[in-house]
């Protein structure tokens, strides 16, 4: 996998975007996205640089585009920040998997979040892999305005190893 390039600080560790991710997660799942042991002022940087799980977020466009991917997600998918944040999120799945992915995202929209998702994804290199134990949640601000969806990817397994 390629080494991720640094992200522009305006998004990767932006306190307002971090608050959107973390507050939406806590509201819907009732638990913190970042361990409480991480100092408050360091949480956005921890999520981007040090989290042991991938985090992705996409916007609300008709064909949603990733607007965030932490270093772990960049390593999983093989894209740097610039590439990832210009990629329509549907392209993270192969064409035959996209209808299943969309049905799942519609379920997230109806329920606020869904956890324990498992699906096949594809890296920039063409490598296919399973994402497992995934939680996807709605991103909404304090006023309830929908801003997109985010995913926490705790487990990634190469297709060959999953057989």
Q: CATH no. for residue 22?
A: 3.30.450.20
Q: What is the DSSP letter of 3?
A: P
Hey, what are 38's tokens? 């991480």
What residue has token string 């002022």?
A: 41
Asked whether residue 153 is assigned to any structural domain, the reply reads: yes
Asked whether residue 93 is assigned to any structural domain, the reply reads: yes
| 3 state SS of 24 | helix
Asked whether residue 63 is assigned to any structural domain, the reply reads: yes
As for how many domains the chain has, the answer is: 1
- Looking at residue 82, what is its pLDDT? 94
Total-model pTM: 0.87
Asked whether residue 3 is assigned to any structural domain, the reply reads: no
Which of 5, 18, 102, 97 has the alpha carbon at shortest distance from 55? 18
All residues at 6 or more sequence positions from 12 whose CB lies less than 8 Å from its CB, including other chains:
6, 44, 48, 68, 70, 81
| 3 state SS of 13 | coil
Asked whether residue 2 is assigned to any structural domain, the reply reads: no
What is the tens place of the pLDDT at every residue in 40-58?
A: 999 999 999 999 999 999 9
- Looking at residue 155, what is its pLDDT? 97
- Domain range for 133: 9-162
- Looking at residue 101, what is its pLDDT? 73
- Looking at residue 106, what is its pLDDT? 83
Buried b (16+ CB within 10 A) or exposed e, 52-75: ebbbbbbbeeeebbbbbbbbbbbb
Among the residue ranges 37-41, 62-66, 101-105, 116-120, the one predicted with the least confidence is: 101-105
Asked whether residue 4 is assigned to any structural domain, the reply reads: no
Pairing of strands 113-122, 146-153: unpaired
Asked whether residue 150 is assigned to any structural domain, the reply reads: yes
Asked whether residue 157 is assigned to any structural domain, the reply reads: yes
């Amino acid at each position: 996998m390629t080494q991720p390039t640094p992200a522009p600080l305006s998004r990767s560790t932006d306190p307002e975007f971090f608050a959107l991710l973390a507050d939406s997660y806590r509201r819907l799942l009732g638990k913190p996205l970042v361990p409480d042991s991480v100092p408050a002022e360091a949480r956005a940087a921890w999520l981007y640089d040090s989290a042991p799980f991938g985090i992705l977020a996409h916007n609300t466009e008709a064909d949603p585009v990733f607007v965030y991917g932490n270093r772990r997600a960049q390593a999983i998918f093989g894209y740097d920040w610039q590439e990832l944040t210009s990629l329509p999120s549907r392209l993270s799945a192969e064409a035959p998997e996209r209808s299943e992915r969309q049905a799942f995202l519609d379920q997230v929209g109806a329920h606020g979040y869904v956890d324990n998702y498992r699906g096949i994804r594809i890296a920039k290199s063409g490598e296919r892999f399973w994402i497992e134990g995934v939680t996807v949640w709605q991103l909404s601000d304090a006023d309830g305005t929908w801003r997109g969806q985010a995913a926490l990817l705790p487990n990634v397994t190469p297709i060959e190893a999953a057989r």
